[in-house]
Amino acid sequence: MVFGLTGPPADEVFREIRAAQVSSVFRQMPIALAVNTVNAALTAIVLQRLAGVILPFGWLCGVVLVTAGRLVLWLRYRRASPSEKDDPQWPLLATGGSLLAGLCWGLGGPVLFPILPVLGQMFLTIVIGGMCTGAVVTSASHLPTILAFLLSASLPVAILFFCQGTLTGSALGAMVLVFVAALALAAVHFNRFLADTTRLRIELSRANLRLQAEIAERQATEAALRQAQKLEVIGQLTGGIAHDFNNLLTIVNGNLTLAMERIGENSAGVPLLRGALQAAERGGALIHRLLAFARKQRLDPKPVNLSHLVAGIEDLIRRTLGDRIGLAIASDPDLSPARVDANQLELAILNLTINARDAMSGGGSLRIELQNSRTGDRSPPELSPGDYVVVSISDTGTGMDEETLARAFEPFFTTKELGIGSGLGLPMVQGFAAQSGGAVRIRSELGGGTTVELWLPQADEPPLKTPVPSAACSPSR
Ligand SMILES: Nc1ncnc2c1ncn2[C@@H]1O[C@H](COP(=O)(O)OP(=O)(O)OP(=O)(O)O)[C@@H](O)[C@H]1O
Ligand SMILES: [Mg+2]
């Protein structure tokens, strides 16, 4: 077992043990109160035959009064909330109640002994001994409580015996002391055993919790690994096919263009060829996204000022979002240049804009934020340590449920209608970011909007002075 080595801090365990001990004392309290009352009543009945009614029943009233006070205390503890039960007043009050109860029995001796015959004194001594033994069993979980009862109930009787000045009295006093010492020792052992058991229980339950958390974490890591392997295989397959297909499409495109030139503008076949050419171009765009997802597109990374880049496509973004969605752009004044392919980044931002727009069909707002960031707790774990520029795109749209979020980067996964979404937008953005030496992270909550963070490596050199080229093509839809 490893929990002993990496267990919780000692004072925390100590606090829990103390709380468990106090709660155990209060759990046993009704039994102690019932035994106290019944035994005191029986004792008073027996003693009134030997010492008259007034003193035994006066003493009984004292016992009942203290018992009633402890009952009120027990009721208050029962009604206390878990955090109120942590208050250090409870063990003090329990100990105080126990002390008073013990004193009732202990002072019964000095009150009753002078008027009791020897038989009555013996009877009272035996009853007090029994009460002390019973108290060890019911209150042993909390040492101060049990010691308070033991000493206050027995010491006055022992002193009384010693004060008689006879050999028998001294022997009885000594016997009471030995008996109490034995009980106190048993109480200490019993208490230690209970404390150890409680400590083990607490540590075991914590070890169990840690184990469950580790199992859950391992399962999540395995699932993520399986997903990554699956994507890797799909990426390799797609990349190979897309590459060959791209070559075929280039031939198709070239031949269609040549055919159009040869048959002349007025030929009846021109519309047919133009339709074929458009379809081939759409196929080319699809292949391009597949290559981006498979991280096999040709990139031209250069130092780019992302504030300028976003400003350059702001109009396009506004037109994409429409009238019902507001746009806010915020950029760090000291934003470092990023080393990326500007055209592909524009396409990625437009893709994310379209996703956000689709998630805000009833209107909303989109915020694009640009800032410098270092790898750390907040960064995607797959990033190499270093400095990055983060493009955050946040919308106030529908957000994603857990299943959608888990599958969002899967190629061809879409929740959109057939023909509207191809499920290649996010995989393409992710492929592009990874190929650029960055990463993507999504935070989303159903009904709470979505934030996509694009982490791109900072460039060491300043950005080019020439204006950043704007994405040649408008958004896919
Ligand atoms: N901002 C967003 N808010 C809510 N859900 C989103 C958001 N972005 C993506 N999604 C969910 O993730 C799915 C996958 O997105 P992705 O961009 O890969 O494909 P798509 O938008 O469905 O199709 P495509 O982008 O190829 O046209 C979406 O269908 C949608 O369910
Ligand atoms: Mg999309």
Tell me the C-alpha to C-alpha distance, in Å, between residue 245 and each of 240, 249, 287, 389, 432: 9, 6, 8, 35, 20
Residue nearest (by alpha carbon) to ligand 1 atom 8: 355
Residue nearest (by alpha carbon) to ligand 1 atom 9: 355
Question: Residue 409: nearest ligand to its CA?
Answer: 1
pLDDT of residue 230: 82
Confidence of residue 169 (pLDDT cuts 50, 70, 90): confident
C-beta atoms surrounding 102 within 10 Å: 27
Predicted confidence (pLDDT) at residue 134 exceeds the cutoff of 50: yes
Contact 367, 328 (CB under 8 A): yes
Confidence of residue 340 (pLDDT cuts 50, 70, 90): very high
Q: In terms of DSSP H, where are the helices of 294-341? A: 306-312, 314-321
Question: Widest CA span of the chain, in angstroms?
Answer: 141
pLDDT of residue 3: 39
* Ligand 1 atom nearest residue 427's Cα: 18
* Ligand 1 atom nearest residue 393's Cα: 1
Give tens-digit pLDDT for 60-69.
999 999 999 9
CA 351 to centroid of ligand 1, rounded, Å: 9
Residue whose CB lies within 8 A of the most ligand 1 atoms, among 287, 289, 325, 355, for a mutation test = 355
Six token digits for residue 458:
């900072």
Q: Is 353 a pocket residue for ligand 1 (Cβ < 6 Å)?
A: no
Question: Residue 359: nearest ligand to its CA?
Answer: 1
Classify 410 in phi/psi space as left (phi over 0), alpha (psi -120 to 50) or beta. beta
Tell me the C-alpha to C-alpha distance, in Å, between residue 256 and each of 250, 267, 278: 10, 14, 10
Q: Is 325 a pocket residue for ligand 1 (Cβ < 6 Å)?
A: no
Give tens-digit pLDDT for 171-196.
989 999 999 999 999 989 988 888 88
Q: Which amino acid is at 285?
A: A
Looking at the DSSP assignment, which residues form a beta bridge with residue 388? 373, 457
Give tens-digit pLDDT for 104-129.
999 887 888 888 888 888 888 899 99
Assign 159 to helix, strand or coil: helix
Assign 367 to helix, strand or coil: strand
Size (the chain), residues: 477
Do β-strands 364-374 and 439-444 pair in parallel, antiparallel, or remain unpaired? unpaired
Q: Is 397 a pocket residue for ligand 1 (Cβ < 6 Å)?
A: yes
Give tens-digit pLDDT for 441-471.
999 999 999 999 999 999 988 776 654 444 4
Buried/exposed 303-325: b ≥16 CB within 10 Å, e otherwise: bbbbbebbebbeebbeebbeeeb
Q: Is 421 a pocket residue for ligand 1 (Cβ < 6 Å)?
A: yes
pLDDT of residue 8: 54
Q: Is 364 a pocket residue for ligand 1 (Cβ < 6 Å)?
A: no
Q: Is 457 a pocket residue for ligand 1 (Cβ < 6 Å)?
A: no
Question: Residue 426: nearest ligand to its CA?
Answer: 1
C-beta atoms surrounding 243 within 10 Å: 14
The percent of residues in the chain predicted with pLDDT above 90, rounded, is 56
Q: Is 404 a pocket residue for ligand 1 (Cβ < 6 Å)?
A: yes
Residue whose CB lies within 8 A of the most ligand 1 atoms, among 394, 404, 410, 414, for a mutation test = 414
Question: Residue 403: nearest ligand to its CA?
Answer: 1
Predicted confidence (pLDDT) at residue 9 exceeds the cutoff of 80: no
Give tens-digit pLDDT for 238-278.
888 888 888 899 899 999 999 988 888 888 888 999 999 99
Residue that is written with structure tokens 């592009």 in the block: 432
Q: Is 398 a pocket residue for ligand 1 (Cβ < 6 Å)?
A: yes
The percent of residues in the chain predicted with pLDDT above 70, rounded, is 95
Give the strands of the sheet with 387-395, arranged side by side.
325-331, 364-374, 387-395, 450-457, 439-444
Find the helix or strand (DSSP H, E) in which 364 lies: strand 364-374
Q: Is 39 a pocket residue for ligand 1 (Cβ < 6 Å)?
A: no
Task: Give dist(CA 469, CA 123) in Å, integer.
Answer: 106
Residue that is written with structure tokens 């597949």 in the block: 290
Task: Give dist(CA 145, CA 95) in Å, integer.
Answer: 4
Predicted confidence (pLDDT) at residue 362 exceeds the cutoff of 70: yes
Q: Tell me which residue of 358, 447, 452, 434 sits closest to 402, measured CA to CA.
A: 447
Angle, alpha carbons 77-100-140 (nearest 5°)? 65
Strand ranges (E), 31-166: none
Q: CA-based Rg of the chain, rounded to a whole angstrom? A: 42
Residue whose CB lies within 8 A of the most ligand 1 atoms, among 426, 428, 429, for a mutation test = 426
Assign 370 to helix, strand or coil: strand
Q: Is 352 a pocket residue for ligand 1 (Cβ < 6 Å)?
A: no
CA 84 to centroid of ligand 2, rounded, Å: 53
CA 16 to centroid of ligand 1, rounded, Å: 49
